[in-house]
């Protein structure tokens, strides 16, 4: 035992407190009651179930029982009630290292890394000796918080205490330096490890991916001779996080060929890739894989399945997954609310929010983003105002920029433009370019040129306008026939070294993703695609279609504008779908940008002409076109 430990009279560190019955008579009523309380706590599924048990603990005078308090802290973290855990901890007299570890673990789990570091410093100030578990936990907090100075200090402290020989601390140091981008230090820690197995290499793979160094991660991955499920999963996860969806799916296929079975984390990563690509068929196969290998559909996997089905255009399948999950968590409700919002089912999203509250679950910031978005897209002004107000009053959540943005969008969409403008001016948070852009877009829709020009000037003056903001400004000026102003904005975009993101649409046919750009001629079946396009254009004209050329922001001839609209990427993807799938089957299109007014009108007509159901996911939401009608009610 080192001198620091001797000074505090503490023995070897343990992950959890000793068993509650290890030093007590098992027949003792206090011990039996303690075991009962702990058992009840372990069964809690939400924060509302914790409070009555805690009240019983206080009533019985057990609020300083280290075993009960330890379990309370752990359960609070699990049930998304870290604020309640902090209050419990503050009322505990002389907390030991186990309680500090439990609280820091909970703060890290909740993403409150800086707070976790402060609690650790408080522990040191109170002369509580750290052990390898709390050191590992606070190093994780430093890594995720990017606090290089504090992490180095804790590294030095762990060295003085003789804890750096511990393998778990070595791995956390590896992770800490990697997440802070200190790869030379990370390699130094790695070189000092006597047992440099695939676990350490897996940590390095994840750290390289964190910083976007995909090639370096791949190089390390190739060094691992025997790859286990965790190693494969780290690689797949990193590829997904860096936008390499196709490569992630190919890595998963290679993993299958190597005979390595995935776990719940693996399938969640793959489902995320499917969701972003809109690969419904492949996502459905992953669902079958989950069932085949008896992977538990818990809140983690369940949320990913709901998200995948919703983002791939099948909200009905998402609902079936939701109904089949017996033990739900907040994330399950969040995923379903987001799914309904994506598909324009605003009323259903609000009802799901109400059900969640009724079931005793505490909404999070993500919950409110989802439900407020639903209110915005559905024009549910009264519901939106009421729900926004409940954030601070009922749940103690301070609205973030995303929540304010939803409210501005809500007011702007229904034409309350001056009210939305005043709302921005009175915000407690400085508005960003997205909020100003939202109001500008509303001014364009409601033809309020005077306010629109004021907002445009503010947007340009704020110095934070991104590519999307400049494109929106250019389009707004063009729609008002202010061609000089539109050209000036495009010049500013070019001078700033910014480029407009090209429109890209994809369609999945026979488990293969086909991508199209504006006027794309790269596809092997391009001749057949453009023949179908010409055929549709003739039929559209006979149906009374007149191109909405005002949506084209370039100052070119009307004929050129008509052709520019006709070759939009989503139309090419639809034409490919029409010639390569069975009649009357559903077409599912994914687009990276917002669908324009003209394409929205055209796709409604195509659904009527062909008798097809066409599901389009654009940057903001889903549109379900059927029999000449869109699910959004032309309000998007």
3-class DSSP state of 615: strand
Strands 614-617 and 587-591 come out as: parallel
**Topology (CATH) of 400-500:** 1.25.40
Q: What percent of the chain has pLDDT over 90?
A: 66
Strands (E), 394-524: 504-509, 512-517
pLDDT for res 153: 95
pLDDT for res 14: 39
pLDDT for res 7: 26
User: Is the pLDDT reported for residue 11 higher than 70?
Assistant: no
| Cβ atoms 262, 252 nearer than 8 A | yes
pLDDT in tens, 22-57: 444 545 677 888 899 999 999 888 888 999 999 999
pLDDT for res 20: 47
Residues paired with residue 588 on neighbouring β-strands, in sequence order: 615
Quick one: average pLDDT of 210-224?
93
Indicate the pTM of the whole model. 0.73
pLDDT in tens, 44-94: 888 889 999 999 999 888 888 999 999 999 999 888 899 999 999 999 988
Banded pLDDT at 4 (limits 50, 70, 90): very low
In angstroms, the CA 317 to CA 308 distance is: 10
**Closest residue by Cα to residue 308 from 349, 269, 347, 265:** 269
- Longest CA–CA span in the chain (Å) reads 92
The average confidence (pLDDT) of the chain is 88
pLDDT for res 467: 75
pLDDT for res 380: 93
Top CATH class of 3-179 equals mainly alpha
In angstroms, the CA 349 to CA 371 distance is: 6
pLDDT for res 458: 85
pLDDT for res 358: 94
User: Is the pLDDT reported for residue 18 higher than 60?
Assistant: no
User: Is the pLDDT reported for residue 103 higher than 60?
Assistant: yes
| Cβ atoms 388, 372 nearer than 8 A | yes
pLDDT in tens, 361-410: 999 999 999 999 999 988 899 999 999 999 999 998 999 999 999 999 99
Banded pLDDT at 453 (limits 50, 70, 90): confident
In angstroms, the CA 508 to CA 514 distance is: 6
Q: What percent of the chain has pLDDT over 70?
A: 93
User: Is the pLDDT reported for residue 498 higher than 70?
Assistant: no
In angstroms, the CA 94 to CA 388 distance is: 40
Residues paired with residue 516 on neighbouring β-strands, in sequence order: 505
User: Is the pLDDT reported for residue 239 higher than 70?
Assistant: yes
In angstroms, the CA 278 to CA 511 distance is: 11
Tokens of 307: 């998200």
CA angle 103/107/111 to nearest 5° reads: 170
Q: Where in the chain is the domain with CATH 1.25.40?
A: 3-179, 400-500
Long-range contacts of 516-521 (CB under 8 A, 24+ apart): 516/569, 516/570, 516/572, 516/573, 516/576, 517/569, 518/564, 518/567, 518/568, 518/569, 519/567, 520/569, 520/572
Give the gyration radius of the chain's Cα atoms. Answer: 28
DSSP assigned state of 549: G
Q: Which residues contact 351 (CB under 8 A, 6 or more apart)?
A: none
Banded pLDDT at 5 (limits 50, 70, 90): very low
Tally of CA atoms within 13 A in the half-sphere of 479 that contains its CB = 22
């Amino acid at each position: 035992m080192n001198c620091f430990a001797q000074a505090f009279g503490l023995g070897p560190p343990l992950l959890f407190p000793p068993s509650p019955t290890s030093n007590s008579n098992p027949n003792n009523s206090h011990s039996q009651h303690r075991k009962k309380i702990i058992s009840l706590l372990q069964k809690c599924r939400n924060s509302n179930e914790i409070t009555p048990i805690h009240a019983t603990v206080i009533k019985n005078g057990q609020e300083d029982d280290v075993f009960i308090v330890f379990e309370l802290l752990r359960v609070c973290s699990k049930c998304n009630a870290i604020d309640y855990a902090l209050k419990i901890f503050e009322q505990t007299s002389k907390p030991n290292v186990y309680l500090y570890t439990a609280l820091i673990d909970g703060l890290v789990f909740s993403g409150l890394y800086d707070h976790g570091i402060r609690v650790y410093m408080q522990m040191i100030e109170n002369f509580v000796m750290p052990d390898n578990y709390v050191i590992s936990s606070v190093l994780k907090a430093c890594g995720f918080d990017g606090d290089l100075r504090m992490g180095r200090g804790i590294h030095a402290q762990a060295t003085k205490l003789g804890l750096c020989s511990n393998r778990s601390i070595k791995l956390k140091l590896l992770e800490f330096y990697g997440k802070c981008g200190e790869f030379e230090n990370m390699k130094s820690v790695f070189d000092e490890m006597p047992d440099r197995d695939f676990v350490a290499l897996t940590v390095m793979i994840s750290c390289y991916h964190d910083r976007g160094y995909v090639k370096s991660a791949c190089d390390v991955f190739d060094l691992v001779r025997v790859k286990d499920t965790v190693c494969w999963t780290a690689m797949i996860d990193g590829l997904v996080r860096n936008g390499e969806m196709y490569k992630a799916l190919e890595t998963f296929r290679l993993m299958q060929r190597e005979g390595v079975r995935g776990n719940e984390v693996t399938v969640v990563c793959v489902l995320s890739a499917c969701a972003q690509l809109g690969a419904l068929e492949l996502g459905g196969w992953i669902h079958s894989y989950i069932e085949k290998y008896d992977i538990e559909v818990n809140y983690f996997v369940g949320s990913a399945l709901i998200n995948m089905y919703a983002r791939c255009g099948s909200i009905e399948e998402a609902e079936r997954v939701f109904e089949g999950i017996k033990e739900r968590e907040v994330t399950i409700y969040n995923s379903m609310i987001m799914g309904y919002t994506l598909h324009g089912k605003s009323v259903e999203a609000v009802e799901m929010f109400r059900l969640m509250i009724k079931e005793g679950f505490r909404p999070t910031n993500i919950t409110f983003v989802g439900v407020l978005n639903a209110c915005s897209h559905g024009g549910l002004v009264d519901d939106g105002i009421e729900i926004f107000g409940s954030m601070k009053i009922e749940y103690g959540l301070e609205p973030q920029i995303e929540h304010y943005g939803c409210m501005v969008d809500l007011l702007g969409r229904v034409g309350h433009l001056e009210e939305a403008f005043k709302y921005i001016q009175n915000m407690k948070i400085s508005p960003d370019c997205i909020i100003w852009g939202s109001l500008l877009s509303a001014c364009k829709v409601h033809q309020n040129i005077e306010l629109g020009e004021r907002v445009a000037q503010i947007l340009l003056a704020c110095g934070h306008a991104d590519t999307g903001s400049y494109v929106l400004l250019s389009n707004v000026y063009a729609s008002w026939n202010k061609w000089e102003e539109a050209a000036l904005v495009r010049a500013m975009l070019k001078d700033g070294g910014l480029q407009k993101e090209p429109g890209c649409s994809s369609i999945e046919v026979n488990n293969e993703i086909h991508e199209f750009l504006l006027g794309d001629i790269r596809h092997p079946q391009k001749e057949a695609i453009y023949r179908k396009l010409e055929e549709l254009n003739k039929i559209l004209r006979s149906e009374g279609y007149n191109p909405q050329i005002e949506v084209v922001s370039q100052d070119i001839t009307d004929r050129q504008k008509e052709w520019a609209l006709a070759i939009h990427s989503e139309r090419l993807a639809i034409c490919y779908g029409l010639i390569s799938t069975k009649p009357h089957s559903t077409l599912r299109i994914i687009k990276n940008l917002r669908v324009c007014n003209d394409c929205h009108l055209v796709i409604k007509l195509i659904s009527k002409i062909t008798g097809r159901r066409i599901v389009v996911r654009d940057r903001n939401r889903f549109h379900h076109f059927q029999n000449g009608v869109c699910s959004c009610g032309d309000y998007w």
